[in-house]
């Protein structure tokens, strides 16, 4: 058993809106698992190997709970188009390139490095339809130290000539991919129907059965954009709400994660709450594509589980500090719209959504709780100009708003130092 | 006379919404003044000294037309507070520290370096009330190569114990400061009443006279936030509109620059248009402080001159690429609010506002026009992952959305290479 002490200023989010701050403290791990936090080091630990980050901030690492890996090469492109045109003009063409395994290797290597170097240690991610490229993605993430769930995308309609499966080939490739996934330790598969317009009823039904038989989670998109919702209505006249196009096929349950949920009506929100479905809120993408701003405060008040996603490349920011501050800004738009009747998300709340809320999805306890594997990012903010000696809370806020990649001094993922 | 050729891919904004793109071109300068752009180099210039940026993008540099230099040390702090509380809790206390000249030197040196290294070569900037610190700021900007206008702030009411002048000391310090400014070549003074709540009618009157006698431009704030506007109404019952609290004292004219203008009514917008006043739109700040989103499309349709400002530290981004993309996002909020009836700002339009629109304020012609001193930023985007060979227009968009400080290969300001 290997013991390690980490020394510095610890900041974590034990609950929505709360910060736990430990100045000049110590965190003890054994084999990467958190054992205890100390404000004063007990005598018996004085000789243990120590990673000393005195003066720096040690925060919970970030979780990007919705992003499209094959869209990484088109980050920040085509931002003048709305969702459905953007998909056809840029996205589907870019994803089609991932039939080329060499290209997949190159892009996914860069993406995995970029994620870990920005302090994102857990993801819930879309790949493309390609099983081999998906395995390459999972391998690159695992090698870089990024953990979480990755899904081979299923789509047997409306993808265009170069990016479409049949229901049969989609299921065959899914089974092949799932069987191959057993070789990964920290990156696990998740069933991933792209969204209802991309999947026939029959394909949805088969995917629901696979998820159920193998005990797998499910990710997809829900109520992102008004045109998309109209389209779903016409494709699924049998469903009174968009969410039922998933629910009817056994995909509506605890562990299911739905991106966006910008325009859910009250019934859909209630269905989300009742089933324990998690919402991946993607503020930047929803504004970039003119979709709208999701009612996050309302969701939280209802007790819905909300986490954050960069949604690259609908979103143009891979850095979760940017995603967190953009989430705050989006919530301020809601406040402005409501004549200041709606509280915006505080810095502590948005940080909670980008960290603890998502770590819970993976089975952790809140904050730096004993029993969790260590997921942490160390930020050296000493190069930032200050007006006076700042409190740790103030430094924490600035790290979210203005720290850059170069300020990240170390990253721990799943108990291991990756950076 | 010194001739210099610059080689690379040129992108400029000759008019709102237009891009002029020259692939593998040459730009000829003489003593820093643009003489010509060539797609093929004429024989007679083949032996001239050349800065070769083949493959890179050479864009017009950025202008930050509203920012508060002494708030640089508090960038990204106190973002949970609305305008008036934020001013009293953080801002005024931070600004008060600039009575200390050593502190001013340290902060302003860092700010000037940070600006130029992000490609911002022209500014219209607020200092604090302190004349000596203001001179230090101007010196540091000039040394770094940042050009434009800087104003010593005037405020003889509502600043609190540590940050307030009397009308008499305010005018005395202003005259002292203006007389000292003659030593600067590229950084010029601008008259700067903080905003109506900070300036008595008498002080406003005197400042208007000084501006008129010395032929100086004026900058201030206008209709940023509803509480502020109510306050102005109660302070100036003699004015039917906020704008009149400036206009009544000779401050409403071509060359006047007013930050924010989020909540201007139609009369105020007409007054802005009629006088040729320039609006400094600060999208990030207006959202961070929950002020609102200014109606930029409406202003542009009316023919109002609009430029962009970071408004640090109400805004939390010093980088003008971030300010430009946040401006686009704010305009998308307007589109969403209007049920997609309002066009958002295209990438080309927002870039125009962050560059040409502001360069015009300084007397330039649009784009890389002959006769302009060269203001340019060179971006090396070769480290960015791509889906295929991109067009220059696509690369340009990505540079605005995702390039970072490290991608800036060179900066030219006022004809001189500064970086």
pLDDT in tens, A356-385: 999 999 999 999 999 999 999 999 999 999
- Least CB-CB distance to A329: which of B288, B340, B384? B288
ipTM of the complex: 0.96
Number of structural domains chain B divides into: 2
Shortest CB distance from B397 goes to which of A79, A390, A402? A79
Judge whether B330 lies within some domain: yes
CA atoms within 13 A on the CB side of B98: 30
Contacts of A402 in chain B (CB under 8 A): 75-76, 316-317
Rounded to the nearest integer, the mean pLDDT of chain A is 97
Cα–Cα nearest to A285, from A263, A252, A318, A313: A313
The C-alpha of B114 sits at a distance from chain A's nearest C-alpha, in angstroms, of 11
Chain B residues near residue A292 by CB distance under 8 angstroms: 336
Nearest to A292 among B79, B288, B336 (CB): B336
Q: Is residue B313 reached through a cis peptide bond, with omega within 30 degrees of 0 on the bond before it?
A: yes
Residue A369: half-sphere exposure toward Cβ, Cα within 13 Å: 13
Q: Band of the pLDDT at B33, cuts 50, 70, 90?
A: very high
Q: Which of A80, A316, A401 sits opposite B402 (nearest CB)?
A: A316
Q: Which domain holds residue B392?
A: 3-61+366-417
Q: How far apart (Å, rounded) are the C-alpha atoms in residues B105 and B143?
A: 12
CB-CB neighbors (< 8 A) of A316 in chain B: 325, 401-402
Distance of CA A133 to the CA centre of its chain: 20
| Judgement on whether residues B10 and B150 belong to the same structural domain of the protein | no
Q: Is residue B127 part of a domain?
A: yes
| Nearest-CA distance B377 → chain A (Å) | 19
The reported pTM is 0.97
Residue A233, in any domain of the structure: yes
Q: Are residues B222 and B267 in the same domain?
A: yes
- Please check the confidence at residue B82 and state whether its pLDDT lies above 80: no
Q: pLDDT grade, residue B87 (50/70/90)?
A: confident
Q: How close B73 comes to chain A (CA, Å)?
A: 4
pLDDT tens track for A311-360: 999 999 999 999 999 999 999 999 999 999 999 999 999 999 999 999 99
Same domain, A22 and A166: no
Query: Of A141, A118, A146, whose CA–CA distance to A377 is shortest?
Result: A118
CATH number at residue A9: 2.30.40.10
Closest listed residue to residue A361, CA positions, set A116, A36, A124: A124
- Is B224 found in the same domain as B117? yes
Q: Kindly list the residues from chain A whose CB atom is less than 8 angstroms away from the CB atom of residue B92.
A: none
Q: Is A183 part of a structural domain of the chain?
A: yes
For A37, half-sphere exposure in the C-beta direction (CA atoms, 13 angstrom radius) is: 19
* CA pair distance B75, B255, nearest whole angstrom: 28
pLDDT at B164: 87
As a whole-number percent, the residues of chain A with pLDDT over 70 amount to 100
Residues A87 and A175 placed together within one structural domain of the fold: yes
Is there a contact between B107 and A385 if contact means CB atoms under 8 Å apart? yes
- Is B149 within a domain? yes
B79 contact residues in A (CB cutoff 8 A): 328, 347, 397, 401
For residue B292, which residues of chain A lie inside 8 Å, CB to CB? 336
Give DSSP secondary structure letters for B26-49.
EEEEETTEEEEEESS--GGGTTS-
A contact test, residue of B291, B387, B403 with most A CBs within 10 A: B387
Gap between the Cα atoms of B293 and A293, Å rounded: 14
What is the predicted pLDDT for the residue at B161?
A: 80
Q: Per-residue pLDDT tens for A220-264?
A: 999 999 999 999 999 999 999 999 999 999 999 999 999 999 999
Per the domain annotation, does A359 fall within a domain?
Answer: no
Both B399 and B374 in one domain: the answer is yes
Q: What is the pLDDT of residues B265-293, one digit of tens each?
A: 999 999 999 999 999 999 999 999 999 99
- Partner-chain contact A405 B400, CB within 8 Å: no
For residues A371 and A232, membership in a common domain is answered with no
User: What distance in Å separates the CA atoms of residue B409 and residue B118, rounded to the nearest whole number?
Assistant: 10
Cα–Cα distance for residue pair B59/B42, rounded to 1 Å: 22
**Which residues does chain A have within 8 Å of residue B104's beta carbon, measured at their own beta carbons?**
none
- Which of B326, B354, B382 is a domain's end point? B354
Give the CATH number of the domain where residue A91 resides: 3.20.20.140
CA distance to A296, A376, B99, B220, per residue, from A372 (Å): 27, 11, 49, 52
Place of tokens 């001739």: B3
Kindly state the tokens that stand for B353. Answer: 């506002």
Distance from the B54 Cα atom to the nearest Cα atom in chain A, whole angstroms: 22
Q: Do B190 and B314 sit in the same domain of this protein?
A: yes
- pLDDT at position A87, please? 87
* CA atoms of B275 and B305, how far apart (whole Å): 11
Which of A79, A314, A337 is the best substitution to test chain B (most B C-beta atoms within 10 A)?
Answer: A79
Does residue A82 register a pLDDT over 80? no
Residues B276 and B289 in one domain: yes
- The answer to whether residue B361 sits within a structural domain is no
Mutate to test the interface with A, among B329, B334, B391 (most CBs of A within 10 A): B329
Give percent of chain A above pLDDT 90: 95
Q: Which chain A residues touch B72 with a CB distance below 8 Å?
A: 385
Contacts of B400 in chain A (CB under 8 A): 76
DSSP, collapsed to helix, strand or coil, labels residue A228 as helix
Read off the pLDDT of each residue in B30-57 and give the average, rounded to a whole number. 97
Rounded mean pLDDT of B8-33? 98
Q: Are B244 and B196 in contact (CB under 8 A)?
A: no
Query: Which of A317, A332, A386 faces B73 most closely, judged by CB atoms?
Result: A386
Q: Which of B354, B381, B403 is the last residue of a domain?
A: B354
DSSP for B214-230, please give it: HT--BEEEES--HHHHH
Range list of H helices, B123-200:
131-144, 167-180
- In A, which residues are within 8 Å of B386 by CB distance? 73
Is B216 domain-assigned?
Answer: yes
Chain B residue closest to A314 (CA)?
A: B401
Per-residue model confidence (pLDDT) at position B98? 97
Candidates B97, B316, B336; nearest CB to A401: B316
Residues A57 and A196 in one domain: no
Whether residues A51 and A167 fall in one domain: no
β-bridge partners, A147: A122
Of B331, B354, B377, the residue at which a domain comes to its end is: B354
- Mean pLDDT taken over chain B: 97
pLDDT digits (tens, 9 = 90+) for A195-218: 999 999 999 999 999 999 999 999
A52 in the same domain as A88: no
Of A75, A111, A336, the CB nearest to B290: A336
CB nearest B73 (choices: A292, A316, A387): A387
Chain pair A-B, CB pairs under 8 angstroms: 113
Residues A93, A95, A101, A107, Cα dihedral to 10°: 110
CB atoms inside a 10 Å sphere around CB A176: 14
What percentage of chain B has pLDDT greater than the value 90? 95
What distance in Å separates residue B103's CA from the closest CA in chain A? 9
> Is the Cβ pair B347, A79 closer than 8 Å?
yes
Chain A residue nearest residue B96, CA to CA: A387
Q: Do B397 and A316 touch (CB under 8 A)?
A: no
Strands B33-38 and B20-30: antiparallel
CA nearest B367: which of B9, B6, B15, B7? B15
Q: Which residues from chain A sit within 8 angstroms of residue B388, using beta carbons?
A: 97
**How close A341 comes to chain B (CA, Å)?**
12
Nearest residue, CB atoms, B401 vs list A76, A335, A387: A76
Instruction: Give Cα separations from A314 to A121, A185, A210, A411, B411 (angstroms).
Output: 21, 29, 29, 26, 31
Over the stretch B112-144, which tens digit does the pLDDT of each residue have? Answer: 999 999 999 999 999 999 999 999 999 999 999
Kindly tell me if the per-residue pLDDT of A162 is higher than 90. no
């Amino acid at each position: 058993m290997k013991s390690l002490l980490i020394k510095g200023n610890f900041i974590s989010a034990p609950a929505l809106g709360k910060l736990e701050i430990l100045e000049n403290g110590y965190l003890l791990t054994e084999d990467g698992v958190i054992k205890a936090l100390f404000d004063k080091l007990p005598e018996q630990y004085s000789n243990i190997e120590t990673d000393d980050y005195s003066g720096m901030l040690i925060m919970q690492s970030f979780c990007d709970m919705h992003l499209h890996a094959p869209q990484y090469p088109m980050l920040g492109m085509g931002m003048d188009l709305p969702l459905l045109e953007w998909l056809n003009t840029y996205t589907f063409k870019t994803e089609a390139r991932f039939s080329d395994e060499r290209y997949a290797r190159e892009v996914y290597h860069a993406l995995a490095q970029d994620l870990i170097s920005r302090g994102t240690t857990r993801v819930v991610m879309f790949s493309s339809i390609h099983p081999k490229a998906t395995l390459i993605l999972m391998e690159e993430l695992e090698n870089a130290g990024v953990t979480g769930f990755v899904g081979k995308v299923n789509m047997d309609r409306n993808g265009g000539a170069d990016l479409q499966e049949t229901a049969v080939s989609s299921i065959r490739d899914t089974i092949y991919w799932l069987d191959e996934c057993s070789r990964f330790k920290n990156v696990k598969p998740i069933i991933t129907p792209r969204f209802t317009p991309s999947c026939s009823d029959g394909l949805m039904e088969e995917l629901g059965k696979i998820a159920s038989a193998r005990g797998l989670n499910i990710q997809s998109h829900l109520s992102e954009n008004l045109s998309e919702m109209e389209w779903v209505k016409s494709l699924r006249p049998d469903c009174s709400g968009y969410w039922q196009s998933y629910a009817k096929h056994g995909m509506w349950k605890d562990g299911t994660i739905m991106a966006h949920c910008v325009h859910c009506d009250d019934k859909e929100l209630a269905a989300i709450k009742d089933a324990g479905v998690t919402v991946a809120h993607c503020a930047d993408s929803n504004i970039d594509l003119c979709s709208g701003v999701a009612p996050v405060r309302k969701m939280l008040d209802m007790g819905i589980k909300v986490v954050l996603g960069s949604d690259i490349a609908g979103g143009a920011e891979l850095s979760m500090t940017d995603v967190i501050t953009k989430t705050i800004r989006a919530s301020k738009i809601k406040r402005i719209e409501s004549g200041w009747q709606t509280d915006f998300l505080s810095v502590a709340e948005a940080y909670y959504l980008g960290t603890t809320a998502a770590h819970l999805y993976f089975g952790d306890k809140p904050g730096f709780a004993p029993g969790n594997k260590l997921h942490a990012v160390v930020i050296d903010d000493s190069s930032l100009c200050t007006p006076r000696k700042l409190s740790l809370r103030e430094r924490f806020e600035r790290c979210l708003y203005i720290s850059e990649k170069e300020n990240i001094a170390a990253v721990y993922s799943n108990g291991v130092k990756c950076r």
